[in-house]
Amino acid sequence: MTEPYRICYEGGQGEIVEKKSRFIANVRPVKTEEEACAFIEEMRKKYWDARHNCYAYVCGERNPLMKCSDDGEPSQTAGRPMLDVLLGQDLHDVCVVVTRYFGGTLLGTGGLVRAYSQAVKEGLAASRILTKEPGRKAVITVDYSAAGRLQYLFAQMELTVLD
């Protein structure tokens, strides 16, 4: 991957209420599927009394692993819309779990899609998202007298000098 891409650097939490149903979105950076699964399990234990704990995650830079779950909600009304929000924002290395406490009123498929999508957006708004720009590392050895000129050239070319 040579193009810049966005990652979740620091997670957050967002919440919305739709017709008395509470949707709590928890976001966390993850590098591997194992980290994502551990986070999902952690949220299931934390919100053990909730009706649904739906999730979506994207792990990896090249050929990212993407998974989602509706966790008992009608098919394609929770996990897929959540994943679509992550993909729409070009996010990598992120896992989102949205917990739903049922409020007594059925929302319908369109209402569920909108509510889960909005909850994810709220969670991401409370998170710290960074743009990662892939680069190449090179080691250059020069005389001390040429170091200043080389640093000047690198600055003109907007290259980052690590040391």
Average pLDDT of 105-129? 95
The per-residue pLDDT for range 32-44, each reduced to its tens digit, is 999 999 999 999 9
**Prediction pTM value:** 0.82
Distant-in-sequence, close-in-space partners of 51: CB < 8 Å, separation ≥ 6:
72, 100, 101, 102
Name the 3-class secondary structure at 58. strand
pLDDT at 89: 94
Confidence label for 85 from pLDDT (cuts 50, 70 and 90): very high
pLDDT at 63: 82
Confidence label for 152 from pLDDT (cuts 50, 70 and 90): confident
Which residues make beta-bridge pairs with 129?
Answer: 8
Kindly tell me if the per-residue pLDDT of 17 is higher than 80: yes
Kindly tell me if the per-residue pLDDT of 161 is higher than 80: no
Confidence label for 86 from pLDDT (cuts 50, 70 and 90): very high
Give domain 5-132's CATH superfamily: Impact, N-terminal domain (3.30.230.30)
Confidence label for 66 from pLDDT (cuts 50, 70 and 90): very high
Average pLDDT of 29-33? 95
What Cα–Cα distance (Å) separates residue 42 from each residue in 35, 48, 53, 130? 10, 10, 11, 25
Q: For all residues of the chain together, what is the average pLDDT?
A: 91
Answer for the pair 58, 129: CB distance below 8 angstroms, yes or no.
Answer: no
41: left (phi over 0), alpha (psi -120 to 50) or beta: alpha
pLDDT at 122: 97
Other CB atoms within 10 Å distance of the CB of residue 118: 18
